[in-house]
Amino acid sequence: MRHDLVHGGSLDKMRAAFPNASGPWIDLSTGINPWPYPVPDVSPDTLNALPTRDAYQQCRAAMASVIGVPADTLALAPGSELLIRMLPQIISPKRVAVLTPTYGDHAQVWRTAGCDVLETTSPLSLSSDVDAVAICNPNNPDGRLFNPDELDAARAKLAERGGWLIVDEAYTDLAPELSLARHAGAPGLIVLRSFGKFYGLAGLRLGAIIASEDILRPISNLLGVWPVSGLALDIGKRAYQDTSWQVSTRARLDDARRRLDEILVGTGIKEIHGTNLFRFVECEDAHLIWRRLAERGIYVRRFSWSNQHLRFGLIANEAAETRLREALSLSV
């Protein structure tokens, strides 16, 4: 399968596949903040020396404070995607209900582990019938939201039978009220968090798992003594402590999302969903539109499971907005 049908961000492959595309390329294929947290000057020690335990604890404490959880319910990792792949080494469900559509790695990881995977639009309704439920909240790619109280009720049902609710909160920095943080460490709850999406520094590779000690201990053993780079710990700590940047960024992303919606509606696209970091649209012959945009140097997200949907990330500047508007007017 082509890599663009699995994940976004493959700009190198797009350049190779469309060598005559208009430049410079505009990459709208990911849901990553195009205005990242400004990387401060860092001490050479963050690269010259092994990460210290103090640096780990300071970053963890800053992240826990923002999320609103006790620090000892959280373990840092080099990105939440790795944690998704590690979970089958920690818990052993036989039947797993996974929301569909959603981030594809969730179903793929459990299927590879030999589980019976049930992909469904209503996974919470299966809480009494399966051993684990995996969802994203907000969901990627369609932005669907789940009520935290309903999620916790499902967690309680699963926990009664030794099961697990796995909540991928990669985009919950956009809407902190959706988080299950207040239930951190509760039986049957595993929450995954990502730094790179909201803070716009996906290449830093920083994430976290929030869970009870019986989950955190084996995860930490697998991650080893230095699970996160010193650079990630330093920048992550500063970003999590910068609450004024977080507030202003939420407002900036909301404004950019509104502008993107105006472009999409203005070119005839009616069904628009998503979050303030990406827009999920319904259109006819989506793969053809994707190709026409790619030929004009604009990379958006398409899906193997639908020829009626595309996902657009936020646009970083007015010049890119103009190019997208013009390209869509010729493509839709």
Parallel, antiparallel, or unpaired: how do β-strands 132-136 and 95-99 relate? parallel
> Over pLDDT 70: what percentage of the chain?
98
Q: List domains and CATH numbers for the chain.
A: 3-36+244-331 (3.90.1150.10), 45-241 (3.40.640.10)
> Which residue type, as a one-letter code, is found at position 332?
V
The total of other beta-carbon atoms located within 10 Å of residue 68's CB is 11
Confidence of residue 4 (pLDDT cuts 50, 70, 90): confident
Give the per-residue pLDDT at 197: 98
Yes or no: say if 100 and 121 are a contact pair by the CB < 8 Å rule: yes
Least confident of 39-48, 162-171, 235-244: 39-48
The total of other beta-carbon atoms located within 10 Å of residue 332's CB is 16
Q: What are phi and psi of 256, to 5 degrees?
A: -65, -35
Give the per-residue pLDDT at 314: 98
What value does the mean pLDDT take over residues 318-330?
94
- pLDDT beyond 80 at 5: no
Q: In 3D, which of 249, 233, 260 has the Cα closest to residue 176?
A: 249
The total of other beta-carbon atoms located within 10 Å of residue 167's CB is 26
Q: What is the mean pLDDT of the chain?
A: 96
The tens digit of pLDDT for each residue in 244-290 reads 999 999 999 999 999 999 999 998 898 999 999 999 999 999 999 99
The tens digit of pLDDT for each residue in 119-151 reads 999 999 999 999 999 999 999 999 999 999 999
Q: What are phi and psi of 229, to 5 degrees?
A: -65, 155
